[in-house]
Amino acid sequence: MKTVIETPDEFQHETSVQVRVDDINIGGHLSNDAILRISLEAQLQFFKSQGWHENSKENPGVIMKSVSIDYISQAYHGDTLIIKTAADNARKYDFTLIHLLENKGTGSVVAKVKAHFFCFDYTAQKIRSIPQNFKALFLSK
């Protein structure tokens, strides 16, 4: 069964990453675990761009509940990937991030990543509501 990740028309953040030698698998192309690591880097940069600093007094941490990846095309050592990120589907405690990874040189989509998160208070060890400042991202789309 093929997973199909829908991507939005607009993204709230964009960053780039160069594919490193340790991102390559035995097949000579970008590995699946590297796609997840690159998505997590894009997530961190997205949060920072929105003023969200995890585990601060104002903002909770997040726990990734699930992740889906659509592999579309290959990328190779030295390629520059453009990662576009959008926040989606906010509810009281959880939200989704969508990442679109594109090869800057070829313009082709390399992968689509959909990650579902819960906000979590690590001190109290319980789920926490999404802060209003972050929830505003979902309303501005």
CATH code at position 131: 3.10.129.10
Domain count, the chain: 1
Residues 104, 73: Cα–Cα separation, whole Å: 13
Residues 47, 82: Cα–Cα separation, whole Å: 17
pTM value?
Answer: 0.90
Residues 13, 113: Cα–Cα separation, whole Å: 14
Does residue 75 sit within a domain?
yes
Does residue 50 sit within a domain?
yes
Does residue 6 sit within a domain?
no
- pLDDT tens digits along 70-89: 999 999 999 999 999 999 88
Q: 51 lies in which domain range?
A: 13-139
Confidence check: pLDDT of 56 > 90:
no
